[in-house]
Structure 1
Amino acid sequence: MGLDLRICPACGDLGDRPIVAGAVLTCRRCGHEWPFRKLPLFAVTGPSGAGKSTVGPLLADRFGGDVVVLDQDILWIGALRDEVGAFRSVWLRMAAMLHQNGRPVVLCGTVAPPEFEPLPERAFFSEIHYLALVGSPESLRARLRARPAWREWDEERIEEMLEFNDWLQKSADELGVHVFDTTDASRETTADHVEKWIRARLP
């Protein structure tokens, strides 16, 4: 069983669109079948400023190795920054690879179901659970304006993020996204909520 689920361990073919039945992969080229660990992925999403990066270290400490907590922004570089679709695909492949070690991934980053669900790599996961941390426009605007200059949060970019925050809250039921408002919540309260949400859905 290889770690990169797109590569056939028998013939070495690289498949862009995996053939998946349950937790078994089939090579399009040679027909070889092999099992893989098909675990749930936890996407802690929401607009910038709602608390995703803040809660990440708290979750990593609380779970103590039961899950792997990652911040998606670490790969927001180079060619991946220029092609959002490739960025999403790489993250799903990375998460699926980590799942082969037996621990589910909690991915903290700004994402919505329409960006993950249509991708071929979606087949590597039993479920993708989405929890959106959101906030009032006033609280998010204040938090983003207070960020250091190197993060480049000008007024136009802030308004775009506020639009995403509004859309996410209005579309949550339709998208199957759980929502938690962090406007008046402390770091610990937010971490409590996210931890409980994840633990209720662990295999």
Structure 2
Amino acid sequence: MFNVCDNCGSYRPDKEIQQSPARAICPDCQHAHHFVQQPLFVICGPSGGGKTAVCRHLQQQTNAFIPLEADILLRPEFNNPDKKGDFQETWLRVCKNVGQAGKPVALFHSGGLPQNIEPCVERRYFSTIHYLALIATDATIAARLEARPAWRGCTPAFIDDQVAYNQWFRREGMHRTPPITTLDTTQATVIETSNQVLRWVRFDFTKPET
């Protein structure tokens, strides 16, 4: 496991990070663990925005990065209010370790907002984190959710919450730190949206670090 020190065996996710080359310094013994410091791409947004469909499509269409759907690790224990942040920390730890194979992760995660991700202990292992929200018109979000099978639990109250969440991204996304870029999927096919997400990731890959 990445968080276990190779030298003293301590489990310390809170290692100090040094750059050029990237090294994680164990707080207990000062051992320097060299690692690949990747960017992370978080695709968030309301249910009905198209995250799952785009993630599945990109898994078959690109090898530039690893698209992962956050819900595959969702379990009831992550709803424990006494362990707020565990789900985010778990996913950052997964993405960090996957990235050691040489490719960054694009994490499709409805709740992957800067205010949830940036305070995490595991955040330090990424060079940058970029945020993109897939949104649509309120009517489109509602119609997509209403069309889902009953077992998905898209009650009127849930749909209202997701429409409000959709509005939040339009109103607040660019005011977050870092800002959340928005991509409207109302008129786009899954293929078109996937291509736009791919271009967004590639653009951020080539941005000079500041």
Number of residue pairs matched by the alignment: 199
Instruction: Give the secondary-structure state (helix, strand or coil) at the position aligned to 1:49.
Output: coil
**One-letter amino acid of the counterpart of residue 175, structure 2:** E
Q: Alignment identity in percent?
A: 33
Shift of residue 81, structure 1, vs aligned partner: 3.8
Aligned to 1:27: 26
**For 1:94-133, what aligned pairs fall within 5 Å after superposition?**
94-110=94-110, 111-133=112-134
**One-letter amino acid of the counterpart of residue 122, structure 2:** E
Say whether the 8 Å CA contact 1:18–1:120 is kept in structure 2: no
Distance 1:154 1:84, change over 3 A: farther
TM-score, scaled relative to structure 1: 0.93
Shift of residue 202, structure 1, vs aligned partner: 2.4
Say whether the 8 Å CA contact 1:18–1:121 is kept in structure 2: no
Please list every run of at least 4 consecutive aligned residues from structure 1 whose deviation after the TM superposition is greater than 3 angstroms: 81-84
RMSD, aligned CA:
1.4
Instruction: Give the secondary-structure state (helix, strand or coil) at the position aligned to 2:52.
Output: helix
In 2, Cα distance between equivalents of 1:27 and 1:16: 9
193, 196, 199: which is aligned to 2:202?
199
In 1, Cα distance between equivalents of 2:170 and 2:94: 28
Matched, 1:70 2:68: yes
Shift of residue 67, structure 1, vs aligned partner: 1.2
Q: Deviations over 1:30-54 (max 9, x none)?
A: 1111111000011111111010101
Extract unaligned runs of 5+ from structure 2. Answer: none
Extract unaligned runs of 5+ from structure 1. Answer: none
Aligned to 2:189: 186
**For 1:8-157, what aligned pairs fall within 5 Å after superposition?**
8-22=5-19, 23-63=22-62, 65-82=63-80, 83-110=83-110, 111-157=112-158
Distance 1:16 1:192, change over 3 A: closer
